[in-house]
Structure 1
Amino acid sequence: MGAAMMAHVLIPTSGPAEGAPPDPLPTSTPSAPGTLSEQELAVAGTTTPEQTVRLALDGLGVHHGRYALAVEDLTSGCSVAYGSSAETFTSASIIKVDILAALLLQTQDRGGQLSSAQRQLASDMIRVSDNDAAQKLWIDIGRRQGLDAANARLGLTPAHAGQRGAWGLTRTTARDQISLLKAVFTQDSPLNAASRSYVRALMSAITDGQNWGVGAAGAPGDLPVLKNGWLPGGIPQLWVVNSVGIVERAGHTLLVVVLTDGQPTREAGIALIEQAAATAVEALVRTP
């Protein structure tokens, strides 16, 4: 439509919550990473990383809809969240990373390799977010039953709701998306090195126009490694906009997840994701 767990700190969001077809192909350039004010940096020297992130994100003020953010710093071992990391959001196209991980895990179990047709479908599904390709691979993995079996091994809870609906209408949490990213990007994973490298390569080659999102939190000029999802729906029409990925910032490697819904436009969701991700990562890596 998208390993050992470290302690997750839940930080409530501020601002009022408002109450989300196939993906269009938007064009957007990731915004520059956020910066902390001198006052925030001074406070950061006397507070915990969680408090510093809260301060920075609270400073963004009122936003439309709701969002949940989770960041895991693989360099420092610090893990923070803003909003409830256990609160569910519609997956949209970020579930495509989960579908690919399940496919690779099943292929490993058989001691085989993806067929040439499956590799093309996987590329189309991740790089250009092709929904027809995702549907074919969803069938290949055994639909919901196959995904849930893989998720149990990847460290995720079963997909929520949408059992009889489209794969993009399943629901997920920020906590589960961090678990999936750890399975994809770290060695403590049932996915072997070749499978992890394959997923990373596809997530590093997202087509132009879809390379917005959590990549805004990375160092300027770095290649985005991410997957985004967006889906309009509801009455009035409101948007689900999600982004997950891995970034490098100030010598730190970080897994970043931002899930949103209730967005008035796709562009508003993108702006919220990029601002929140960049602000949180900057606050986290600048904390002593």
Structure 2
Amino acid sequence: MTARHAARNDATSNRPRVMIFAGVTLVLLLATLVVARGADGWTGGTVPVADASRPTPSSSPSPDAEQVAEDARNKALADRLTALDTGGATLSVAVLDLSDDRAAQYNVKPGLTYDTASIVKVDILAALLVQAQDDGRALTEREKSYAVPMITESDNAAADALWEIIGGSDGLDAANARLGLTGTTAGAGPLWGLTQTTAADQLALLSQVFGNTSELSPASQDYIRELMGGISAGQDWGVSAAGDPTGLKNGWLERSVTGLWDVSSIGAVTIGGQPCLLAVLSKDNAGMDEGVSLVEKAAKEAASVMER
């Protein structure tokens, strides 16, 4: 037998083995597909790579973890603020980081409200702008002539004029229902400075002005931000002590019956490089200077809790 014949005979003799091997491979492949169909309910024409309905791991903190972190911030803030010498004044604080919604608050309780004094002027302007939006118009030059000094100089006569234009307490309450202020009640008659509010509601108001979701149009937001960013020298104290302020409004009022002072401050500040909203309310201060000092100390403590 020649070498050529031997090679041909070897190739011929190997054919059954190749065919048997291919047959076994095909059976194994079909068995795998049947198992895959039974396990995953696959009915398509190709082998499924992954089941999209299965949940994938998430890197976001769980709701429980977020609540634990917020509770820790609240405790840290309470520890710092209860250590302050308030001189008998009552204090309430709320802070929110706009970049990630981290928040902290102190002494924010149902039914515990504070006189707004002049911080309500931001609310009055927001109500005016909401009404103008509903009417499909811009503010008139007369309205602007009141709005500017009311915010930048805390002019009371200008606030009186706009209070009347918005419809007084009824107008403010109606606007606040739109703006999400659930714990604020407008002052009776002409007494806008005795509007009752909470630190949480003041954050809600600030969120309408500085947040991404708002009843206020972008143009209305820009207008309030511009005025709050131009507070007159001598009135730029308060939450500005917590960081670089981008918007500010303060309020102060001596109560005629007790001689004690309401001193409060709200605004947007940059804390640790992050944009934050901050409201510090106080009442029953021995004097305005004592109230300003207390508000600024509280603002700094709030900033220290929020810094990363």
TM-score class, shorter: 0.7 to 0.9
Quick one: which amino acid aligns to residue 145 of structure 2?
Q
* Partners of 1:160 and 1:204 in 2: CA distance: 26
Aligned ranges 1:95-244 → 2 under 5 Å: 95-157=120-182, 159-160=184-185, 162-218=187-243, 222-244=244-266
Look up the match of 2:100: 76
Query: Secondary structure at 2:154's aligned position in 1?
Result: coil
Find the counterpart in structure 2 of residue 248 from structure 1: 270
* SS of the residue 1:54 aligns to: helix
Q: Report the Cα distance in structure 2 between the residues aligned to 1:195 and 1:242, rounded to whole angstroms.
A: 24
Q: Structure 1 148/131 Cα, relative in aligned 2: closer, same or farther at 3 Å?
A: same
- Contact between 1:52 and 1:284, CA under 8 Å: does it hold in 2? no
Contact in 2 for aligned 1:69/1:85 (Cα 8 Å) = no
- Are 1:274 and 2:296 an aligned pair? yes
Secondary structure in 1 aligned to 2:157? helix
> Which 10-residue stretch deviates more, 123-132 or 160-169?
160-169
C-alpha contact 1:95 1:167 (8 A) present in aligned 2: yes
1:59 equivalent in alignment to 2:83: yes
- Partner Cα separation in structure 1 for residue 147 and residue 265 of structure 2: 18
1:283 is matched by which residue type in structure 2? V
> 1:96/1:161 Cα in 2 relative to 1: closer, same or farther (>3 Å)?
closer
CA distance in 1, matches of 2:214, 2:268: 16
Following superposition, the deviation at residue 223 of structure 1 comes to 4.4
Equivalenced residues, count: 239
Deviations 1:12-41 (A, max 9, x none): xxxxxxxxxxxxxxxxxxxxxxxxxxxxxx
Does the aligned pair in 1 maintain the 2:168–2:190 contact within 8 Å? no
TM-score by structure 1 length? 0.78
CA contact (8 A) 1:66 1:260 kept: yes
The answer to whether the 8 A contact 2:251-2:264 is kept is: yes
Which of structures 1 and 2 has the bigger CA Rg?
A: 2
Specify which structure has the higher proportion of helix. 2
Q: Is the 8 A contact 2:117 2:194 kept in 1?
A: yes
Q: Please, what is the CA RMSD of the aligned residues?
A: 1.9
Alignment-mate amino acid for residue 213 of structure 1: G
Displacement of 1:272: 0.4
Q: Partner amino acid for 2:214? A: S
Residues 89 and 285, structure 2, Cα contact 8 Å, conserved in 1: yes
Structure 2: 5+ residue stretches without partners: 1-62, 64-68
Give 1:110 shift: 1.1
The match for 2:50 is: none
- Following superposition, the deviation at residue 235 of structure 1 comes to 3.9
Alpha-carbon shift at residue 275 of structure 1 (Å):
0.4
CA pair 78-85 structure 1, distance change in 2 beyond 3 A: farther
- List per-residue Cα deviations over 1:44-89 (Å, max 9, x = no partner): x9x8222222233233345431011111111231121111244101
Aligned mates of 2:184, 2:190 — CA distance in 1: 12
Residues 107-151 of structure 1 show CA distances to partners (whole Å, capped at 9, x for unaligned) of 111111011111111001000000110011011111111111111
User: Are the structure 2 counterparts of residues 134 and 165 from structure 1 closer, same or farther at C-alpha, using a change threshold of 3 Å?
Assistant: closer
Please tell me the residue identity of whatever aligns with 2:175.
A
Mean alpha-carbon deviation: is it higher for 153-162 or for 238-247?
153-162
Distance in 2 separating the partners of 1:205 and 1:161: 26
Higher relative contact order (CA 8 A, sep 6+): 1
Question: Counterpart of 2:263 in 1: which secondary structure?
Answer: strand
Provide structure 1 residue ranges, at least 5 long, that are not aligned to the other structure: 1-6, 8-44
Q: Which residue of 2 aligns with 1:3?
A: none
Distance 1:223 1:260, change over 3 A: closer
